[in-house]
Amino acid sequence: TSTGATVLNLAGSTGITTITNQGSTADLTLNNLASLPTSVVLNTIDDNTTLNFANGALSGTDDLAITLEGTTTNSEIFITYAAGSANDLETVSLISSTAANVVKNIDTNGADVATIEITGSQDLTITDILDTEVTTVSAGSFTGDLSISTGAVAVTTTLGSGADTLVASTGN
């Protein structure tokens, strides 16, 4: 829980498997994560969460799972990697659970994410246009109502069984 803007340098930390940002009332930045955690949970937050990965953290087939549990209108997720990294984060999986979620922005430009996967049963609204390097949105198993806007690129999109809204954008 962050009550003031907090930046943690995790360069010397190893074995981090779960990150939970719960009830923060200010921005939380986690720098130099040495590996992908198996679980990131954002619970009842209305501020920014930044996940910055060290050079060696992204290799092979990378999938970052983020569980959303009641994120609100001002919450933003920033995913980046350290300068000089040659590896990309291939997929960000958003699991919308517990309560309806609103995310203002998911900024994946800093990690070159190509695929956003959306699962879960609670409604999810992503207010801002997805970044242009996102070329696939996979939400076929999502049962909540989804509202998203894609960037000004060709995006392969699969929607779920909810009352989904997709806006195909022509630019930011």
Contacts of 126 (CB under 8 A, 6+ apart): 103, 104, 105, 106, 147, 148, 149
Global pTM reads: 0.94
Tens of pLDDT, residues 34-55 = 999 999 999 989 899 999 998 8
Rounded CA separation 137/142 (Å): 11
Neighbours of 155 (CB within 10 A): 18
Q: How far is CA 95 from CA 11, 71, 79, 102, in A?
A: 27, 12, 16, 12
pLDDT in tens, the chain (172 residues): 788 899 999 998 999 999 999 999 899 999 999 999 999 999 989 899 999 998 888 876 679 999 999 999 999 999 998 877 778 899 999 999 999 999 999 999 889 899 999 999 999 999 999 999 999 999 999 999 999 999 878 999 999 999 999 999 765 5
Residue 91 burial (C-beta neighbours within 10 Å; 0-12, 13-18, 19+): middle
Amino acid at 133: E
DSSP per position, 50-97: EEEE-GGG--SS-EEEEEEES--TT-EEEEEE-TT------EEEEEE-
